[in-house]
Every structure is written in structure tokens, then in C-alpha cells.
Structure 1
Amino acid sequence: MKKKNNLNGSYWENRYKMEQTGWDIGLPSTPIKTYIDQLKDKTISILIPGAGNSYEAEYLWLNGFKNVCVVDIAKRPLDNLKKRTPNFPSDQILHQDFFTLNNAFDLIIEQTFFCALHPNYRKDYVDKMHELLKPTGKVTGLFFNFELSEFGPPFGGNKKEYLSLFNKKFNIDILEPSINSIKQRKGKELFFIFEKKPNGTNKEYNIKS
């Protein structure tokens, strides 16, 4: 199937310009904030892809995590982050395509980026996540838990699909319904923690719906 490419930088820039940003809750997502609050090592390298207005990045920065990098193909939300947190290093605010990154990170935080990609790109997403993580790196965050639609964004999905996508390249530490989602998303989110498997690892999670 030919991949759709209409969800490009111009598309997202226009969404921010027109304030059509229903995914933007104006603060760090509660499940992710709770996860951040239990992190002990503040020196770890962290990436937030498709970061948008980057409230999680702002929260990390203000709480002593200085090795935080955000990337988005839309410039406007990145400018918003810089205005809110002027001391956030400009070289850690990347206006580029996530799939062109070549860095290495200990932790990647997923928040409404995966669901914004056309489903044809989901395998590419998994491969790139694996590539960008250090050998013991993790990706954590939230996936939407509702029926996959060909119309979006956001595009949905379910636990079985996510397991099938990530199982070969990641150890599935947690993939369960979020217990502390914001009111608007209660019952519609899965919280997850996936750890990168070393190349060549064949052990797989027992997939259940």
C-alpha cells in the first residue's frame, strides 16, 4: 500500500495556526507526569517526538532534567516552548522530521505522536524507536485505546495490535489501561513501558487480546 504523506509539516503548522489542537490539554498528561515523578536519575537523555507544545518537556526541564530533546515538524509549538522556558537550550529543540533523527536516548516519551501518524507508518515508527534507543533504553507513554479508523488524526488502535507491532523489537514491561487519565480520555488510553531488545533477540511476548 502506498504511504500517505499529507500529514506533513504544512498540515500541522496550519492546525496550530488555526488553533485546531484538540489533542493539546495545556499541561503534562497525568500518567506521564506520574511516571516522570518516580524517575531518580536526572542525567538520562530523553526524547519527546512530535512534541507539540511540549508541556512534558517543560515539566522535565523545570524539575532538573536538563538532557531533554524535543522534535516536531511544526515550528510554531516549538516556539511556544521556547517562550515559556527561555533557558531551554535551542539545540535541544529540533524542528525536523522525527524519522531523520540520528541521536541516541535512554528514554523516549510517547504522547499523541503515534496516533497522529498515518497507520501505514507504524512499522517505521517501531523501527525508528528501536534505532534511537540506547541498548537498555525504554519508550513509555500513552496509546489510544479505541477502534482504528482510516480517518484521522487521531488514529486509534488496541492492545493486541500494539503488541503485534512492538513485540519483536521490545520487551513488553507494561501495556495496560491507564488508571489516571484525564477526565476527557478516561477509558480511552493504554499506559505502556517497552524496553528495547538487543538486536537478534527472538523471545516474544505471548500476545493476547
Structure 2
Amino acid sequence: MSQSDPQAIQQVLAQYQGDSYVNGWAELWNKGDNLPWDRGFPNPALEDTLIERRSTIGDPVAKDAQGKTYRRKALVPGCGRGVDVLLLASFGYDAYGLECSSGAVEACKQEQAKNGDKYPVRDAEVGQGEITFVHGDFFANDWLESLGLSLNSFDLIYDYTFFCALDPSMRPKWALRHTQLLAPSPSGNLICLEFPRHKDSLASGPPFPSSSEAYLEHLSHPGEDIPYDDKKLVKSDPLREPSRNGLERVLYWQPARTHQVGKSQDGEVHDRVSVWRRRA
């Protein structure tokens, strides 16, 4: 299978339905396929967010109630080759990359060994965080237990090409899982780089068309079935109250920089960045 063969990828994923869908991604990775949106370096929108929105997201090093200093934990589910994990660690977070196959985890470790020196420490006083790559299912707890972590352990979660890689039927479960992994507000922040917003809503995936409205509805009502219309667009109800356990969008903007795939032919940025917290 080649990098430019999305139909072949769809054929593999079509063999896995429902909760087994992630096993299709594991098969692709274990075959050693180069997946089509692997850019080889972090999206510059993430780098800009960590720098420019630090006052909202918080510092990578914090103090607990007893005044003891600790590194905050960052998670990248579906981390690909781990480039975002390397970037987060360079900013000072203890960064965890989660992938659904042993082949993907091995690719992450190879990336770290080969290109880790391309991610210098950003602040000498803060230093670099630890890097951990783990094999597991985002929706299960065994990988957490293997790391000695509990639910609601992550101060930062970064979601870029994970939401759009999942079959849309899994979006309620995706949103609910974020509420289970994210630390309490205001410490815990979910950063979503929303992509592909510009793709035809009726087009097949992956990546599946992912509107800002879809992020908003699912994260505001985690675990709930969200209605879509015949054009596969979210049917928003302005009178519908957000769920008590839902996430609240605290920031939303058009980034100045993003990968080329998130732009129009004229260079207009289609991607958006949103930051979410658990409701108090």
C-alpha cells in the first residue's frame, strides 16, 4: 500500500466495525504502512499554541498543594510517529504518546532515536520532560494501569488527527473518554486542532470531515448521541443545555500557521484551534 492510496486504507478499515475499528489502524501500522497524513514534524499551530496561549494553558511545571514542584503530564492519543510528543517534552511536559499497535510504538521510538535532537529544550530553567510511548487502546484502562496512572491524570491532551481518524459513530465515546482522562479544571486542558474542516461533509474518510460544530456538540454532550442531518452535518440545538459532565470551550481561533493540508490553494488556513476544560 502506498501513501497515496486512501482507497486501500478504507478497505482495511471497512473490515473492522464498531469498537473493533481501532484494530484496523493497528493492522495498518503493523504492516508498516506510511499513513497519509504523517507530515514528519509537528503542526506549527501546536507550537504557537504552547507559546502564545501559555497564560491560559498554564506552565509545564507546577506546584501541588504542599508546594512540591512537579511536571504536568501531556497525552497525545493516536500520536503517529510521536513528533508531537517530542515537541511537548521539549517544552517541559512529561509527554505520553499512545498508539494502538506495537508497530506504531516502535516507529515512535525510532523517530525519537533518529530525530530527537531536533527538539531542543525551550527553557533551560524548566528543562525537558520525560518521554513515554505506550501501546494501548484509548478507550481501555490497561495502558493507564501499566503506567501506574489513574483516570483524570492528564493536564494537557492534544488531539489533531485522532478525532478525524475515528469512524463518526465513535465520536460520543471519544468525547466521553476525554472527560475521563482530563485533569480537573483549570489544570486540565484539551487542545483540539480541528481538521479537516473544509472537506465535503458527504466525503468518505478517513480523515472524516470534522466541522467545528461537531467538536462543540460532542464535547459539550460527551457520551450522548448527536443528531446529524442528511448531509452529515451536526444538527445543533441552541436551546439544548450542555451536559453537566461536558467540556467547556474556553478558547477558539484561526491559527496563523498550520500544515499545508489544512490550507486552501490560496493559502487560507481552514484549520481552527480550540481549548476545552471540564466544567467546574
Same fold judged by TM-score > 0.5? Answer: yes
Which of 79, 101, 112 is residue 74 of structure 1 equivalent to?
101
The structure richer in strand per residue is: 1
Aligned positions of 1:8-47 closer than 5 A: 8-14=22-28, 17=31, 19-38=33-52, 39=54, 40-42=59-61, 43-47=71-75
Q: Taking structure 1 as reference, are residues 150 and 124 closer, same or farther at Cα in structure 2, changes over 3 Å only?
A: farther
Determine which structure has greater relative contact order: mean sequence separation of CA pairs < 8 Å that are 6+ residues apart, divided by chain length.
Answer: 1
Question: Is the alpha carbon distance of 1:45 and 1:118 closer, same or farther for their aligned partners in structure 2, counting shifts above 3 Å?
Answer: same
Aligned to 2:76: 48
User: What is the identity, as a one-letter code, of the residue corresponding to 1:170?
Assistant: L
CA 1:47–1:78: 2 relative to 1, 3 Å: same
Alignment partner, residue 99 of structure 1: 139
2:211 pairs with one of 158, 182, 190: 158
Query: Which residue of 2 is the match for residue 194 of structure 1?
Result: 276
Counterpart CA distance in 1 for 2:168 and 2:24 is 19
Q: What's the secondary structure of 2:155's corresponding residue?
A: strand
Structure 2 stretches of 5 or more lacking a match?
A: 1-16, 62-70, 117-128, 145-149, 221-241, 264-268
Q: Is the 8 A contact 1:32 1:141 kept in 2?
A: no
Unaligned runs of 5+ in 1: 199-209
- Measured after TM superposition, the shift of residue 128 of structure 1 is 0.6
Is residue 169 of structure 2 the alignment partner of residue 120 of structure 1? yes
Percent identity reads 22
Find the aligned partners of 2:30 and 2:37 in 1 and give their Cα distance: 11
- With 49-58 and 32-41 compared, the bigger mean Cα shift is at 32-41
What does residue 251 of structure 2 align with?
Answer: 174
Partner of 2:121: none
CA contact (8 A) 1:12 1:74 kept: yes
Partner of 1:204: none
TM-fit CA distance, 1:16: 6.6
* Among candidates 78, 81, 84, match of residue 111 of structure 2: 84
Query: In structure 2, do the counterparts of structure 1 residues 117 and 191 end up closer, same or farther at CA, with 3 Å as the change threshold?
Result: same
- Contact 1:10/1:74, CA 8 A, preserved across alignment: no
Report if aligned partners of 1:159, 1:175 keep a CA contact under 8 Å in 2: no
| Contact 1:149-1:155 within 8 A present in 2 as well | no
Q: Deviations over 1:92-135 (max 9, x none)?
A: 32111000135321110112001001001111111110111111
Q: How many positions carry a matched residue from both structures?
A: 194
- Could you say what secondary structure the match of 1:19 adopts? coil
Q: Secondary structure at the match of 2:80?
A: coil
Q: Which shows bigger deviation, 121-130 or 174-183?
A: 174-183
Greater than 4 Å deviation, 4+ residue runs: 86-90
Distance of 2:29 and 2:105 partners within structure 1: 14
- SS of the residue corresponding to residue 85 of structure 1 reads helix
Q: Contact (CA 8 Å) 1:33, 1:56: kept in 2 or not?
A: no
1:123-142 correspondence to structure 2 within 5 Å: 123-136=172-185, 137-142=188-193
Aligned to 2:183, the other structure's residue is in SS state strand
